[in-house]
Amino acid sequence: MTAFNQTVLLTGGAGYIGSHTFMALSDAGFTPVILDDFSNSHPAVLDRLAHLTGQRVLCERGSVIDTGFVAQVIRRHQCVAVIHFAGFKAVGESVQQPLKYYHNNVGGLVSVLQAMQTAGCQSIVFSSSATVYGDPDNVPITEQCPCAPESPYAHTKLMCEDILTSLRASDPAWRVGILRYFNPVGAHPSGLIGEDPDGIPNNLMPYVTQVAVGRRDKLNVFGNDYPTPDGTGIRDYLHVTDLAEGHVAAVRALLARHDSFTVNLGTGEGTSVLGVLHAFERASGRPIPFEFAPRRAGDVAEYFADVSLAKTLLNWRALRTIDDMCRDSWHWQQSNPDGYRNMAPHDLNVLQTNSLLSNHDGSRQPAASA
Ligand code: WQD
């Protein structure tokens, strides 16, 4: 089935992974439409996407909790599939505020599914996470590994997977693609879109890039006494563009074969914290000061994927290396020291404000004025 101009809705599409998936879908000939409330993203990304694609970016501002609004958007754009990114993802915050996570992450998915049913769209790709596995007994981790979530955030992801499984069991017309991400890092090679966390980054790569650009003094390496070759934690880092292309492969599989699947998206290789740090120093040409600190609660020693099922079912595998990830992360951060904040006005003029923001009440405005 050709992608030509088929419309795909991206809930949370203005975020880090959503914006990169927007680019991958556009490159593949689909028409992506963003639905975002900008509670955890910035409208400035819309102008960057317009610049990169050379086309008007379709974006509907509103909440996934508003079922009627979501159904209206699906109908308006005649979406053939939905990729559901919208959700909170800070593990630590989920421990402090579990209800916020259950309401937004689980309630949000239920609302989107109800809206899809109303609007007659029954193909969904769901952004899940490898954290559903908890602390695995063995690595590499396959999709058959037992799930043992250890945070409210991880529980919301597994509950969403269970909801999708029940829905499909009730009505086989539903086509469901569940993608369990390992550790997404990196940025679009243009340096125009990338990861832009609020406040102090929880995750390794954005913290390293902020040290390199001078926003942070040094990296705290959480633990150097793990049972790993250099004593630091090992993870499966995946270039965000590889991850985005995995979503395109998942949409194609749902539309072409009407089947459903749950697959890991990773490289199948592990890299230690010090391994990332040294790769980043090579990519940036800058030393990254660090100190060893106590282990972080909830961290595990080693975590990487068995990715054979994604290759078999989606004909997808990661193509980019840890050096590519560091190079692109550095290009983004060096080009945008403050991320999307404080974008100088001339940036918007240069980037041709072609994006159009539809507000909930149907009014429209250029994204730059948002
Ligand atoms: C990676 C490694 C840390 C920061 C998290 C979420 C998970 C998923 C991916 C959403 C670990 C070490 C980190 C720092 C450090 N997100 N580290 N100093 O914990 O594997 O997974 O992001 O789905 O839900 O839990 O990623 O980047 O936080 O940590 O030493 O300042 O870097 O100990 O070994 P993690 P991370």
DSSP sequence for 45-61: HHHHHHHHHTSPPEEEE
Q: Is residue 17 within 6 Å of ligand 1 at its C-beta?
A: no
Q: What is the mean pLDDT of residues 4-29?
A: 96
Whether residue 228 is contained in a domain is answered as yes
Decide if 340 is catalytic.
no
Whether residue 262 is contained in a domain is answered as yes
Q: Which atom of ligand 1 is nearest to the CA of 272?
A: 34
Residue 285, number of CB atoms within 10 A of its CB: 8
Q: Is residue 220 within 6 Å of ligand 1 at its C-beta?
A: yes
d(CA 277, CA 197): 19
Cβ–Cβ < 8 Å for 265, 181: yes
Find the range with the poorest average confidence among 179-193, 226-240, 335-349.
335-349
The boundaries of the domain holding residue 186 are: 7-366
Query: How many domains is the chain partitioned into structurally?
Result: 1
Confidence (pLDDT) at 4: 73
Distance 130 CA to ligand 1 centre (A): 12
E strands along the chain, which residues?
A: 7-11, 31-36, 58-61, 81-84, 123-129, 175-181, 183-185, 219-222, 234-235, 237-239, 261-265, 271-272, 290-293, 302-303, 356-358, 364-366
pLDDT of 291 > 50? The answer is yes
Nearest to 230 by CA among 272, 279, 259: 272
Confidence (pLDDT) at 5: 77
Question: Which CATH number belongs to the domain containing residue 146 in this structure?
Answer: 3.40.50.720
Q: Is residue 235 within 6 Å of ligand 1 at its C-beta?
A: yes
Confidence (pLDDT) at 341: 86
Q: Token digits for 347?
A: 């940036």
Give residue 345's pLDDT band: very low, low, confident or very high (50, 70, 90): very low
Q: What is the mean pLDDT of residues 224-241?
A: 98
Whether residue 1 is contained in a domain is answered as no
Q: Is residue 179 within 6 Å of ligand 1 at its C-beta?
A: no
Whether residue 2 is contained in a domain is answered as no
